[in-house]
Amino acid sequence: MPTVRKNTIYKDLLKYSAHGMSSFHTPGHKNAFFEDLYRLDYTELSATDDLYKPKKSILETEKKASKIFNSGCSLISASGCTLCIKAMIALFCKYRSKVICSRMIHRSAIHAMAILDLKPLFLIPRLDANKNFYEQITSHEIEKLLDKNKNDVGAVYITSPDYYGSIADVANISRVCKKYNVPLLVDNAHGSHLAFLSSNYHPLSLGADATADSLHKTLPVLTGGALLHLKDKSLYNRAKYWMEFFGSSSPSFPIMASIDICLDWIKNKGKTEFLKLEEKTRDIKKTAKTCGIDVLYSRADHLTEISKPIFCGSLKNKENDSTDYVNCSSSENIKDDHELLREAYKNATLCDPIRICFNVNSVGLTGSECAKLFRKNKVEPEFYDKSFIVFIPTPLNTDEDFFRLADAIRCLPKRGLVHKKETEISFCNRKIGCSLYEAVFKFASEKIATHLTVGRIATRAENICPPGIPIIIPGEIITKNAVNAMVSKGIDEVYVAKQK
Q: What is the pLDDT of residue 6?
A: 62
- How far apart, in whole angstroms, are the C-alpha atoms of residue 159 and residue 351? 13
Determine the length of the chain: 500
Provide mean pLDDT across the span 380-385: 91
Q: Please state whether the peptide bond connecting residue 161 to the residue before it is cis, i.e. omega within 30 degrees of 0.
A: yes
Going by C-beta distance under 8 Å and a sequence separation of 6 or more, which residues neighbour residue 280? 393, 397, 402
| HSE value, Cβ hemisphere, 13 Å, CA-based, for 337 | 16
Provide mean pLDDT across the span 200-211: 96
- Three-class DSSP category at 51: coil
Tell me if 195 sits within 8 A of 202, measured CB to CB.
yes
Tell me if 384 sits within 8 A of 368, measured CB to CB.
yes
Lowest mean pLDDT among 13-22, 177-186, 327-336, 421-430: 327-336
Query: Which residue in 443, 459, 444 sits closest to 493, CA to CA?
Result: 459
Query: Which residue in 495, 459, 456 sits closest to 111, CA to CA?
Result: 459
Provide mean pLDDT across the span 74-96: 96
Domain ranges of the chain: 37-267, 436-497
- How far apart, in whole angstroms, are the C-alpha atoms of residue 277 and residue 394? 7
Q: Which helix (H) or strand (E) holds 446?
A: strand 445-449
Question: Options 2.60.450.10, 1.10.3720.10, 3.90.550.10, 3.40.640.10; which CATH number does 37-267 get?
Answer: 3.40.640.10
What is the percent of the chain with per-residue pLDDT over 90, rounded to a whole number? 61
Q: What is the pLDDT of residue 4?
A: 55
Q: What is the pLDDT of residue 239?
A: 98
Per-residue pLDDT tens over the stretch 439-479: 999 999 999 999 999 999 999 998 877 777 888 999 999 99
- How far apart, in whole angstroms, are the C-alpha atoms of residue 324 and residue 124? 10
What mean pLDDT, rounded, does the chain reach? 84
Tell me if 442 sits within 8 A of 122, measured CB to CB.
no
Q: Say what the pTM is.
A: 0.85
Residue 7 has pLDDT above 80, yes or no: no
SS3 string, 314-334, reads CCCCCCCCCCCEEECCCCCCC
Considering the domain 436-497 in this protein, what is its CATH number? 3.90.100.10
388-391 vs 356-359, strand pairing mode: antiparallel
Residue 347 has pLDDT above 70, yes or no: no
